[in-house]
Structure 1
Amino acid sequence: MFAALPLLASLLAGCGGDGEASGKTTLNWYNFPDDSGALQQAADKCSQASGGRYRIVYNRLPRAADGQREQLVRRLAAADSSVDIMGLDVTWAAEFAEARWIREWTGPAKRQATQGTLLVPLQTATWKHKLYAVPYNTNTQLLWYRSDLVPAPPRTWAQMQTMARALARQGKPHFVEIQGAQYEGLTVWFNSLINSAGGSILNRNATEPSLGPPGVRAAQIMRNLADSPAADPSLPNQMEDQNRLAMESGTAAFEINYPFVYPSMKANNPKLFKSFHWAPYPRTDADRPSRPTIGGIDLAVSAFSRNPGPAFEAALCLRNRENQLTAALKGGLPPTMRSLYDEPSFIKNYPFAKDVLAALQSASVRPITPAYQNVSIAVSHTLSPPASIDPKSSVATIRDQIDQALQSKGVIP
């Protein structure tokens, strides 16, 4: 892979607008803060692989997604030429592309970016049938449960609530931990449910809300859980980490969360870890497969970079097989390359790799629209707190607010 990079550099020259700088070039890569060291290791390896033509500097963005987006938006709105490569949340590509802040991937760069990459993550990097980023990592939720409380995991949300009620009657841990706070996690929950019910938040062209009966069905499931013994009393304030801590404390029987909870349980509660198992995301209906929402980061090249050719080359190197495997093993970030899910070292550290892959292959994406920030706010504000949801009227409110959000033009504040 690294041996091919000098040749690829000449092929990628046509991808950029400005000419490549001669000699050693500094490429600034802005991405989420990584405590594992995997991102810095990737930057160092790719700098070395360039043969001295460029050096990648890894710049840490704020830890919260909103802070990351705010910093990038400010820099790009000012046409900051010091930004070369960016790690975008999977909901940002359409907005940034519409604002003409990121470059389209074409030619050899596009072919290499898409070859062997999982199809659903590629959807998050595409806008108006054009590729504007390359999937760097991905993520999806599973159902985590205690096998000492339930010998076999539930297949549907209704089954899970029935099991929770039975455990409550026996005075045993019975909560279902899920993200119920008024933030992006609540939108993800609704999006996973509506897609699992056969619908979507927006229509295929992202021009108007879809919702319909699947939206009402999704809202009803959320309300049913929030208004049952399965609901943690802290549900209206809970995010992923609060869910993790509640499960580790032993008060819950089920948890809908990302794979980071597995090593955390192993480290923090070894005794409970022995009965900490996983299963596919619950179905809305027994005869319909679940479609959990994916997360992740896509790498994009700034429209204002003075060195687009090297930036495209570097982005491909940063997300190559070796660096994705390192990020998966060190940082627990599921890869976007299909072949890595057959890699023995990955499977050893990710015993649920098969289930994550299955989920990714049938997963859903959040609405792809430049107005996504406003769409998400309309969903999360209307459905908070979950116990106050009125399925039909709440979905009608979401529809009205999305209609207004889709009238927004340009950058979302």
Structure 2
Amino acid sequence: MLAVLLTASGCATTSEEGGGETDTGGTGPITFATGRDTTAYLQPLLDRWNQAHPAEKVTLLELPEAADEQRAQMVANLQAQSNRYDVLGLDVVWTAEFAENGWIIPLERGLFPLDRFLPPVVETAIYKDKLWAVPYTSNAGLLYYRTDLVKKPPRTWAELREQSREIRKKHDIEGYAGQFLAYEGLTVNFSEAVQSAGGQILSRDGTEVTFDPAKGEIALDFLLQGLREGWIPKASLNYKEEESRLAFQEGELAFARNWPHAYGPAKAKLGDKLGVTRLPGPNGPGSSTLGGANLAISAFSKHQQTAQEFIRYFTSLENERRVLTEGSFPPVWTELYDDPDLIKRFPYLPVLKESILAAKPRPVSANYNQLSLVIASSVSKALSIPTPESADDVAVSMKSELEEIIRTQ
């Protein structure tokens, strides 16, 4: 099927599975817009493509590291119907918004080995029963801990609290931190706490607010208790991913919630003192937020056929292995998590696989950005020191604001 596509430049294909007519015509140079590469693994992969496709070279356009800023630049470009971006590296939560606004094109499912990808990851690329992107990396939050300070990693919030307080008292090292600045990271951390408490923000199809303020209060109280008692440092209210990663690997924290990309630098710094486990919850292992990136094709690209072929290349098994070994990002191919050689090199893979399979996506909505802003702003108010708002009042108010957004979408 791909051969037919590649010899029919300028034609359109119709896919019942993909959901409608997809214009994959047009070959030539393309651009790949994605977040800044902090590991230097991307360019070698692009170079391999460029050597094999001299007439269809890809140029990397690095966007800011922060997801919020990446989205802002992409949206501005797409709203202007610019053809500057061909392939888009999308945070998994943007799929619905970009599809709903007609900024990306639907893809034919049969062209990609989706059955060999982790099932929850594939779901992030589907909106209204159509495939709008191809999973490229996955992600799930993990709990990093110091093995020289912790005999047995915590499985519950109570154990995390107890161990953090004890370590802080004995070793003068701060306890636990996540990403608590008022941005997307705070939405993620709060969503994980709500999920771990048995709640959720929206219904699966994103049409109804199913957020239970009582579950929200439990999640907020977990964080508030830590801040009030001091085992969550107040400095973490200004932490994003990098700040929390650095604080942990520099020995300032005993525990830190972060994504798998933090493993490599932490291992290099801490060696055998580094441990990784699943996030804790109220009564046992918690539920992570499902993260990662998908690759989509701009609706305004003039070279959509090349863009599609590039995505097939970039998400191949060989390159997905490199995504892990050279970039330290979680791949989407299931079999890579069971590879003995990879497990020797990346001991956290079994835990990460468990975390991804137990993870839940953030709210699926074309208005996700508004929902996230409400959640992050509301949680930030609750965590404000020294005069936080009531957790109960914040949770109730949050639900009302979320319902207003859903009603108007």
- TM-score, structure 2 normalization: 0.89
Residue 331 of structure 1 is matched in structure 2 by: 327
| 2:25 pairs with 1:20 | yes
Letter aligned with residue 208 of structure 2: E
CA distance in 1, matches of 2:57, 2:393: 55
In structure 1, which of residues 282, 285, 294 is the aligned counterpart of residue 283 of structure 2? 285
Please list, as runs of the form range in 1=range in 2, the aligned pairs for 1:2-401 lying within 5 A after superposition. 6=3, 9=6, 14=13, 17-18=22-23, 20-21=25-26, 25-49=28-52, 54-109=56-111, 112-212=112-212, 213-267=214-268, 269=269, 272-286=270-284, 289-384=285-380, 386=383, 388=388, 390-401=390-401
Does structure 2 retain, via aligned residues, the 8 Å contact 1:125–1:133?
yes
Pick which of 174-183 and 372-381 moved more.
Answer: 174-183
The offset of 1:19, in angstroms, is: 6.7
Letter in 1 for 2:13: G
Preserved CA contact (<8 Å) 2:144 2:258: yes
SS in 1 for 2:326: helix
- Assess, with a 3 A threshold, how the Cα gap between structure 1 residues 180 and 64 changes in structure 2: closer, same or farther: closer
In structure 1, what residue type is equivalent to 2:377? H
Find the aligned partners of 2:5 and 2:196 in 1 and give their Cα distance.
41
Distance 1:283 1:323, change over 3 A: same
CA contact (8 A) 2:87 2:297 kept: yes
What is the total number of aligned residue pairs between the two structures? 396
Q: Tell me the SS of whatever aligns to 1:325.
A: helix
Deviates more, 1:93-102 or 1:315-324: 315-324
Residue 89 of structure 1: CA displacement? 1.2
CA contact (8 A) 1:88 1:298 kept: yes
SS in 1 for 2:29: strand
Q: Show CA shifts across 1:43-98 (max 9, x none).
A: 23334455x56322222223222222122112211222343211111111111101
8 Å Cα contact 2:104-2:132 kept in structure 1: yes
- 8 Å CA contact 1:94, 1:369 repeated in 2: yes
RMSD between aligned residues: 2.4
State how far apart, in whole Å, the 2-side matches of 1:348 and 1:18 are: 44
SS in structure 1 at match of 2:329: coil
- Cα pair 1:19 1:306 within 8 Å, conserved: no
Aligned CA distance change for structure 1 residues 283 and 41 (closer, same or farther; 3 Å): same
Q: Which letter does structure 2 place at the counterpart of 1:201?
A: I
Compared CA separation, residues 284 and 297, structure 1 to 2 (3 A): same
| In structure 2, distance between residues paired with 1:306 and 1:264 | 39
Runs of at least 4 residues of structure 1 off by over 6 A?
A: none
Tell me, in whole angstroms, the C-alpha distance in 1 between the residues paired with 2:133 and 2:273.
40
Q: Which runs of 5+ in 1 are unaligned?
A: none
Query: How far apart, in 2, do the equivalents of 1:100 and 1:382 lie?
Result: 30
Tell whether the 8 Å contact from 1:200 to 1:215 is kept in structure 2 after alignment. Answer: no
Change (3 A) 1:296 1:363: same
Match of 1:383, SS state, is helix
The answer to whether the 8 A contact 1:219-1:389 is kept is no
Q: Is the 8 A contact 1:113 1:316 kept in 2?
A: no
- Inter-partner Cα distance in structure 2 for 1:5 and 1:324: 20
Q: In the alignment, is the contact (CA less than 8 A) between 1:33 and 1:62 conserved in 2?
A: yes
2:380 match: secondary structure: coil
Please give the per-residue CA displacement for 1:344-380, whole angstroms capped at 9, x wherever unaligned.
4532331111111110111111111011111111111
| TM-score, L = length of structure 1 | 0.88
- Aligned AA (1:283): G
SS at match of 1:136: strand
Question: 1:35 Cα deviation (Å)?
Answer: 4.1
Aligned CA distance change for structure 1 residues 206 and 87 (closer, same or farther; 3 Å): same
